[in-house]
Structures are given as C-alpha cells and as structure tokens.
C-alpha cells in the first residue's frame, strides 16, 4: 500500500495521525514495552578492592611521653614512692627534676627547689614560683620576695643568716612556674605534696611558716580563707605551724601589713619558747 502513496498522500496521512494524538513513530514489527531486558541496564561493574596499606611494625619501646600520659599510671603514687626513696636534700632535688608526670615542667625554665640555710630552725613554704623565680631558680626573689626579706629582717631573721637560730629555709609547694602565674590546680598540688612532705622531713625544721592560702589549704587540708587562718598556730607533721599572709597579697593590700607584723611577733615569741 505504501508503494501507491505519493508524497502528498503520505503527508496527509501523517497529519491525520498527528491530529489523532500520535506522538511516536511505529515500526514494522510489534514491540512489548513491558518485557524485561536480559541484563539490567543499571547493573554496575564490581569495584576493585582498595590496595591494602602497608602495616607499620610494632614499636619496640614506648615513646618517652607515654609514661606521662598513660592513664593507668597514678602520678601521686609515683611521687610518693620516689619521694620516700630520697635520703637527703640533694637526692630529693634530683628526684623532683626527673619527675615526668607534672605538665608544668614542660613550660618552666628552671626547677625552683630551695634557698636559705637548710639547717635553719624556721622553714617557709610558699605557693609556686613566679617569673623572676623561674628565671633565677630560687624562691621568693621578685617583689614579693624582697618584701618577705624585709619582713623577717624586722625580727632579725633572714635567709642569708649564718646562725641557724636566725636563718630561714625557703621552698614552695610547686617547683615549677604555672603558666601566666595562674593558681596551681588540685591535681598539681596533690602530685607534688609527697615531695614537699619529704622535703620537710629531710630539712627537719622546728617551725613551719605556710605563706599564703594555697600552701596553707594544701598542707592543712582546709578550705578556710587565709585571712581567717593567719596567725593561728596549728600542728603539721608534729611541728608548730603558722599560716601567714603572702607578701604578694600585702603588696596589693598594704593595710593588711599590720596583720603580718602581728604574726611575725607571734613567731618571734614562739621561737624564744622553743629549746
């Protein structure tokens, strides 16, 4: 039939089909649009397995920092054991210098161990080194330390006195400076307390002076403020102990110097009573 159609007839037939709504051309053979193909067109090829990474050999030794960061290590227990093994002040100083569990050590320049006469009858325990102390490696050498020297000179005592009866022996709760002179944390005080207790036992002073709220609170295990505790004699490690206002506080609050003078007179009277 198609052979008998001319161009005009074929076009008329096509226009007629378009008017009927036909949109697609049809072929000579019928097709089943619902039949599934033999292979799904969306089937993807299997991805190749990623190359295996070369396994690193197991380390034969733990890195040096692993001891300080090992959560199974108790820094307080380590400090207690190592401090107890120190038989003299030089050994204690070396033991503290080798202690790797306090993060303050990493940011400090020097270990601040002590100053003054080790055989002194009076031992002063401060809080922590400041910038000047960190640079020089000695406690109480900044403005607060200069005021401390003047305070005790008023009762004829000093760190440079050759006579142990008039000399001072000075140390701190912490041997390393906290960043930006912040207050020591409870964890830092706890891990360094065995060292200061051993320090006191080896120096064996007759009287202890706790300078400031941090050393007073840590060693006397109290949360009372230093303004309430100052001037009140206590007992620490079988020794008379006197809490005092820190010289840095006195620099900020000059009116409180009268309390410091009263405490110095109390210390002087107590020293006269002791053999």
The phi and psi torsions of 216 (rounded to 5 degrees) equal -65, -50
What ranges do the domains of the chain cover? 72-273
Q: Alpha-carbon distance 1 to 14, whole Å?
A: 15
Vertex 165 angle, CA 264 and 207, to 5° = 55
Q: Which residues contact 62 (CB under 8 A, 6 or more apart)?
A: none
- Please give the CATH superfamily to which domain 72-273 belongs: Uracil-DNA glycosylase-like domain (3.40.470.10)
- Per-residue pLDDT tens, the chain, 275 aa: give them: 555 667 777 777 777 777 776 766 666 666 666 666 566 554 555 556 666 665 555 544 433 333 345 678 899 999 999 999 999 999 999 999 999 999 999 999 999 999 999 999 999 999 999 999 999 999 999 999 999 999 999 999 999 999 999 999 999 999 999 999 999 999 999 999 999 999 999 999 999 999 999 999 999 999 999 999 999 999 999 999 999 999 999 999 999 999 999 999 999 999 999 98
In the numeric block, which tokens belong to residue 58? 């197991």
């Amino acid at each position: 039939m198609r052979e008998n159609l001319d161009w005009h007839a074929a076009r008329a037939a096509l226009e007629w089909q378009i008017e009927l709504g036909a949109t697609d051309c049809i072929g000579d053979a019928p097709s089943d649009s619902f039949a599934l193909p033999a292979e799904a067109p969306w089937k993807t090829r299997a991805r190749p397995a990623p190359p295996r990474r070369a396994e690193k050999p197991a380390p034969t030794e733990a890195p040096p920092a692993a001891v300080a960061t090992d959560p199974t290590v108790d820094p307080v227990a380590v400090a207690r054991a190592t401090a107890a093994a120190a038989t003299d002040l030089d050994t204690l100083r070396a033991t503290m210098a080798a202690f790797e569990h306090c993060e303050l050590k990493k940011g400090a320049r020097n270990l601040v161990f002590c100053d003054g006469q080790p055989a002194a009858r009076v031992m002063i325990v401060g809080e922590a080194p400041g910038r000047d102390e960190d640079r020089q490696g000695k406690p109480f050498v900044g403005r607060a330390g200069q005021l401390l020297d003047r305070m005790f000179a008023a009762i004829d005592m000093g760190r440079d006195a050759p006579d142990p009866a008039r000399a001072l022996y000075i140390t701190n709760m912490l041997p390393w400076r906290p960043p930006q002179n912040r207050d020591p944390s409870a964890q830092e005080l706890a891990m360094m307390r065995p060292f200061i207790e051993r320090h006191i036992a080896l120096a064996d002073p007759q009287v202890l002076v706790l300078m400031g709220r941090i050393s007073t609170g840590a060693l006397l295990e109290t949360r009372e403020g230093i303004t309430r505790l100052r001037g009140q004699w206590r007992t620490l490690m079988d020794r008379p102990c006197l809490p005092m206002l820190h010289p840095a506080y006195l620099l900020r609050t000059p009116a409180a110097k009268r309390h410091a003078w009263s405490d110095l007179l109390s210390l002087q009277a107590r020293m006269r009573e002791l053999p």
